[in-house]
Copies of this chain bind each other. A is one copy, B any other.
Amino acid sequence: MATIGDVAREAGVSRSTASYALSGKRPISEEVRRRVLAAAEALAYTPNAGARALATSRTKVLGLLARFYTDEFAPAMMQYIQGVTDTARDLGYDTLLVTDEDGARALRRITDSRMVDGVVLMNIAQDDPRLPILRAAAQPGATVGLPGDCSGIDVFDLDFEEAGRAMVDHLHGLGHRELILISQPEHVVERGGAYVWRLRDAALERARQCGVTLHTVYGESRQPAVGRLLHTLLDTYPSATGLLINNEAAAAALPSVAHERGLRVPEDLSVIGRYSAEFAAAFSLPYSFVESAPDRLGSMAVRQLVRRVESAAARREPFVVRFISPELVSRGSTTPPREPHPRTPAR
């Protein structure tokens, strides 16, 4: 492999001149620049990443700490990751994917050893053990997900509170007075997944304010448990006219459950989900939904991170906590409720 010394020799100049010719950081005569570029081309010169990192203390690599939980839906995770890797690449960065079980130690390892210029954290818990380490690190960090303590980092998340309210408002506006909300499984909450209760509590509060009855329940993450749960719910609350779904598995299971019960959406039941357009497409879900925009969140986190990495001024700016406003995508799965007489329980 050719080094910059080889290029310099080939072009008949010093190493520093070759470096300047390639980087453009000092004026170089047209003639010399041409010779250096030609030599680099001829020798297929590619700078050694380690040497450059050592000299510049920049690696052009971002760390991405993510965990693949079997009870969280893989497609959503993939979208976050893709959002991060694609945006990073656009900005000239590669992505080190770290899925260690002990995220805190892994984070320390990659930051202390200066393998990365910055870090994106996913699967954020309310009290995330990685955050103290990130705050102490020399590199800037961003999270996708809202932790309890946002100090010292940039935070990006969907506005789950507003999403909960928007769902309730939408159905209340259509005249619904009794709704069901199915959330993620309880162990997602136990793991610290605050977004579950952020959406739920905001929805409950709003429902209370506008006199709507809202039944809430933790869902399941897998078939057929989640399907059975849906049946049970619909049996238990026969007079509910609307269903809010903050649970990918439940949303994916609903079409066949509805079919089994002979339940028509929206005539018999109005439905709103909370997931990504990509997820909706993969499962062809026919429901209106609040877009959770995982790729956009990953992309925003990376952009902010790179700003801080590349500009000392940006590094001094105050930290941001930025929420994406929930966007309700209508698929026609909601309508005013039928007459006040309840659905007849099926099955």
Contact = CB atoms under 8 A, between A and B. Distances in A.
Nearest to A64: B97
A89 interface: yes
Interface stretch (A21-29, A190-198, A253-261): A253-261
A324 interface: no
Interface string A85-104: 11001000011111110000
B82 A78 contact: no
Interface string A40-59: 00001011111111100101
A49 B97 contact: no
Contacts of A53: 49-50, 53
B86 A110 contact: no
Contact of A86 (B89, B99, B260): B99
Interface stretch (A67-75, A143-151, A153-161, A238-246): A67-75
Contacts of A282: 70, 74, 222-223
A61 B260 CA distance: 51
A99 B85 contact: yes
B86 A78 contact: no
A1 B57 CA distance: 12
A115 interface: yes
Contact of A54 (B51, B78, B89, B112): B51
Contacts of A260: 259
A96 B99 contact: no
Interface in A120-173: 138
A131 to B, nearest CB: 19
Nearest to A54: B50
Contact of A74 (B59, B78, B98): B78
Given A64-B97, A255-B256, A282-B70, A112 B44 contact: yes
Contacts of A46: 109, 112-113
A222 to B, nearest CB: 6
Contacts of A48: 54, 113-114
Interface of A: 1, 44, 46-54, 57, 59, 61, 64, 68, 70, 74-75, 77-78, 81-82, 85-86, 89, 94-100, 109-110, 112-115, 138, 222-225, 255-256, 259-260, 278, 281-284
Given A81-B97, A94-B98, A96-B97, 5 more contacts: A46-B112, A49-B59, A50-B51, A81-B99, A95-B97
Which 5 pairs across A and B sit closest by C-beta, in order of nearness? A50-B53, A256-B256, A46-B112, A97-B97, A74-B75
28 contacts: A1-B112, A1-B138, A44-B112, A46-B109, A48-B114, A50-B51, A50-B54, A50-B59, A50-B114, A54-B54, A68-B82, A70-B278, A70-B281, A74-B74, A78-B78, A81-B97, A85-B99, A89-B100, A94-B96, A94-B115, A95-B97, A96-B97, A222-B282, A222-B283, A223-B282, A223-B283, A256-B256, A259-B260
